[in-house]
Amino acid sequence: MTSNHGAAGPSLSQLGWRPFYAQQLTLQDLEAGFPARVASVHRSRIDVLHEGGDASVTLPGSLLADGSASVTVGDWVLVESGTDRMLRLLERASLIARIAAGSQHEMQPIAANLDTLLIVSSCNADFNLSRLERYLSVALDARVEPVILLTKADLCDDPREYLDQVAQVARNVAAIALNALGDETPKRLAPWLGAGQSVAFVGSSGVGKSTLVNTLTLSAQQATAGIREDDARGRHTTTARNLIAMPGGAWLIDTPGMRELKIGAVESGVSAVFDDVEALASACRYRDCSHEGDEGCALQAALERGEIDERRVTSYLKLQREAANAARTTRERRERERFFGRQYKAVQDQQRKEKQGR
C-alpha cells in the first residue's frame, strides 16, 4: 500500500474513532501528525487508513524492539505529517491476544480495539466446549462482547443440540447456528455489524471463517479450503490479519485458524466464564483449596452429587492454572526487565561520571 494522501478516505468516526482515543491527543500532537488505523502489519512497516486515504508507514525502531508493545491490526497510531513515519501507538480500548509459540511466554496481539469477537465453531467433530471456554475467557477479560457462531448448521441433523450445549457454558452469550453461505447470514449478524463497529473472527481452521468473510463482504476476498473428512479439521486458508471494510460500514478482522489458543493472564475472564463453578468453590472449607482431593472441597462434593459436569470443572482448573502461570511469568519478566534497566542506567551514569572527571 503506497501513500495516497490525495484521495479522500473514510471519516474517523467511520473508521471506529471514539472519544477514548481523541482524549489521548493534544493540540501539539494534531499539529505534528494525524491519527490512522492499522489495516495490516508487515515486518518493519504497517498499512494504515486515515481521512486522507491510505499510507504505508514505517515503524519506529523502539517499537520493533519491544515485543510487548508490537502493533497489531485495529490499532490506532499517530502518523507524522508529510513523512509517513509513525510517531506513537495510542492506548487500546481492548486487545485480544494469546501467548506466542515458544518458551518465552511473550504475548502475541491478535486484534485491537474491537467491539465484538465472533467465535466460530461448527456443527461437526470440530465442536469443542473447552475450546469455546478459552475464547470466551479471552474475550471477557478484554471487555469485548463475544458472539458464538456455529457454522455448517445446514449439514447436521439438529443444530439445536449444539446450541443447547453452548447455552450450558455461555448462558448470557448470543449463539447462532447458521450456514456460512446462506443469503440470510448477513441479516442475522447485522446487529453486530453497524457502521464504525469493529469485529474479528477467531476459530480453528476449516470452521468457515473465510467463507463467512466472503458472504458478509459479498465478494471472494478470502481463499477457502475444505476440511479433512476423517476428523473435520480444516486446512489453513487465512495466513495474515487484515482490516476489511464491510458493506454496512463495519470493519472486520479475519484471523488465521488457531487449533490451540494459549491464554495469557486472563484471570478475570476465566472467573466470568466459570462464575457457576466459582460460586460452588466459594463454599470450600479452605480458601486455598486446590479442588483436587482437598478435605472439605465443595467442588468435589458437587461433582459427587452430580450437580456439575466433570468436564467443566476440569476445564476451569486447567484455565485457572494457565492464567495464574501467565500472570506470574509476566510479573517475573517485568521485574527482570526493570532489573536490567536499572543496571544499564547505572553503567551509563558511571560512564558519564568518568568522562566528566577526565
Residue with cell 479522500: 8
**What's the sign of the alpha-carbon dihedral 220, 225, 229, 230?**
negative
Spatial contact of 296 and 285, defined as CB atoms under 8 Å apart? yes
Binding residues for Zn(2+), by number, are 284, 289, 291, 297
Task: Compute the C-alpha angle 91/94/98, nearest 5°.
Answer: 110
CA pair distance 140, 254, nearest whole angstrom: 19
Binding residues, by number, are 151-154, 203-211, 284, 289, 291, 297
CA pair distance 74, 53, nearest whole angstrom: 16
CA pair distance 67, 175, nearest whole angstrom: 34
CA pair distance 132, 219, nearest whole angstrom: 28
Instruction: Give, rounded to a whole angstrom, the gap between the first and last alpha carbons of the chain.
Output: 53
Q: Could you tell me the three cell numbers for 232?
A: 473435520
Binding residues for GTP, by number, are 151-154, 203-211
